[in-house]
Amino acid sequence: MRKDFVFHLYNVEHDNFMNLLAKCPEDQRMVIPQGFNTSLYWHLGHVLRITEVHVFGLSQQTMSLPQNYKDLFHYGTKVTDWKEEQLAQLPAWDTMTAQLKEQREHIYNALKDRLEEPVPENFKKAENFGELILTTAAHLSNHNGVVAAMLQVLKQK
């Protein structure tokens, strides 16, 4: 599997995600737009959490995100379910965007020479790290579409 191809696709989706997030006004990051069930803030945290679990977990690397990200951003979580004590400990937007940038660098540095290496059995059916990174790019692409739609709805208000 070509390293340039895998990381180019991942970087394109990652850059698109970062660019979309940069378009979100600060006062609308926690707003749940009509027709959606969560906020842009949640999407940012979710992408961080799921990328860490899928890529770092399956590659048996140390996970670095705080433990509360699991309770806040994992599959099935919602902003509307967050408790008061969770709201008081939410990470800052700038902290999470910085973590997302660091995460991309870490993935590249840790896996750039391991793309053909097999990964443990996983629900994504990825057989090696290259495929795992490509499924992560697809996950980002999905969120890019949702975030772009959310921004359109927020802009209409």
Q: In whole angstroms, give the CA distance from residue 48 to residue 42.
A: 10
Whether residue 56 is predicted with pLDDT greater than 90 in this model: the reply is no
Q: In whole angstroms, give the CA distance from residue 95 to residue 89.
A: 13
pLDDT of residue 57: 85
pLDDT of residue 1: 67
Mean pLDDT, the chain, integer: 94
Q: How many CB atoms lie within 10 A of CB 89?
A: 11
The pTM of the full predicted model, rounded to 2 decimals, is: 0.94
The mean pLDDT value for 124-147 works out to 95
Extract the tokens encoding 141. 């692409």
The mean pLDDT value for 49-55 works out to 93
| pLDDT tens, residue by residue, 1-46 | 699 999 999 999 999 999 999 999 999 999 999 999 999 999 999 9
Q: In whole angstroms, give the CA distance from residue 120 to residue 126.
A: 9
CA dihedral 43, 48, 54, 58 (to 10 degrees): -170
| pLDDT tens, residue by residue, 101-111 | 999 999 999 99
pLDDT of residue 63: 79
The mean pLDDT value for 119-146 works out to 94
Helix (H) or strand (E) holding 155: helix 129-156
Cβ–Cβ < 8 Å for 10, 134: yes
| pLDDT tens, residue by residue, 64-84 | 899 999 999 999 999 999 999
Superfamily of domain 3-156: dinb family like domain (1.20.120.450)
Whether residue 55 is predicted with pLDDT greater than 80 in this model: the reply is yes
User: Domain residues of the chain, as ranges?
Assistant: 3-156
Helix 93-111 to helix 40-51 angle (10° resolution) is 30
